Amino acid sequence: MELPWNDPRSNKFVTTIGLITSEGIHGPNIMACEWTHHISYNPGLIAISLGLTKATVENIKKSREFGINLCATDQSTLSSIAGGYSGNNYDKIEAAKELGFEFYKASTIKTLMVKGASLNAECQLIQEITFGDHIMFIGEVIEAVHNQEKQPLVYHDGKYWALESIIKPKLEERGQIRKILEKYKKNK
């Protein structure tokens, strides 16, 4: 069965937006990656899934490294530039700079990083796996910094969102939940 892009069933997922920076045969590039996932604490691993024809795919295959910059809530325009235009046809880094977005040189890899992102992670490629019409790159994080002042931008149902905390169950309710679960604890 196919779950195509922009299908109402595909739009029910909630994701952050990874601004993937790379350097390679297409020069410096940035793309928006909806499928950016932290998959291991030790070692720190992050997986990104990209369409097979993306300029970033060729850059990463050549350089074996990439930057992950989790888009902050004030970077929706940058996300739209990075995700709406192909690095095969546009210099999105220069366009973003002209619009006031800033970049800095990574400390351990040869690519630019996005200033003001909620998280910046410099990654070395350790594995690539093709799944259907996408390729998953798994990167080992070799440097990471977070910006405590910035919240990540969220993407859901074709729209950008900001996170809002909701109230956890009260202590009394959590105690009641624990008592109920203890009644159903499996004996080993």
Supply φ then ψ for residue 79, to 5 degrees. -60, -40
- d(C-alpha 139, C-alpha 47), whole Å: 6
54: number of Cβ within 10 Å:
21
Q: What is the mean pLDDT of residues 12-19?
A: 93
Token pair for residue 29? 């590039």
Structure tokens of 146? 């977070």
> What is the Cα–Cα distance from 111 to 21, expressed in whole angstroms?
7
Candidates 150, 148, 164, 149; CA nearest to 78 is 150
- Least confidently predicted of 62-71, 112-121, 170-179: 170-179
* DSSP one-letter string for 85-122: S-TTT--HHHHHHHTT--EEE-SSSSSEEETT-SEEEE
Confidence of residue 27 (pLDDT cuts 50, 70, 90): very high
Per CATH, the architecture of 10-183 is what? Roll (2.30)
Mean pLDDT of the chain: 95
State how far the Cα of 79 lies from the Cα of 41, in Å rounded to an integer: 26
The model carries a pTM of: 0.90
Spatial separation of the C-alpha atoms in residues 106 and 178, rounded to whole Å = 46
Indicate the pairing of strand 119-131 with strand 29-33.
unpaired
Name, in order, each residue with C-beta under 8 angstroms of 29's C-beta and a sequence gap of 6 or more. 21, 22, 23, 55, 56, 59, 87, 92, 93
Can the peptide bond before residue 43 be classed as cis, meaning omega within 30 degrees of 0? yes
Does the pLDDT at position 166 exceed 90? no
Residue 151 has what DSSP assignment?
Answer: P
pLDDT-wise least confident of 3-12, 121-130, 171-180: 3-12
Q: What is the pLDDT of residues 96-149, one digit of tens each?
A: 999 999 999 999 999 999 999 999 999 999 999 999 999 999 999 999 999 999
Does 6 score more than 80 pLDDT? Answer: no
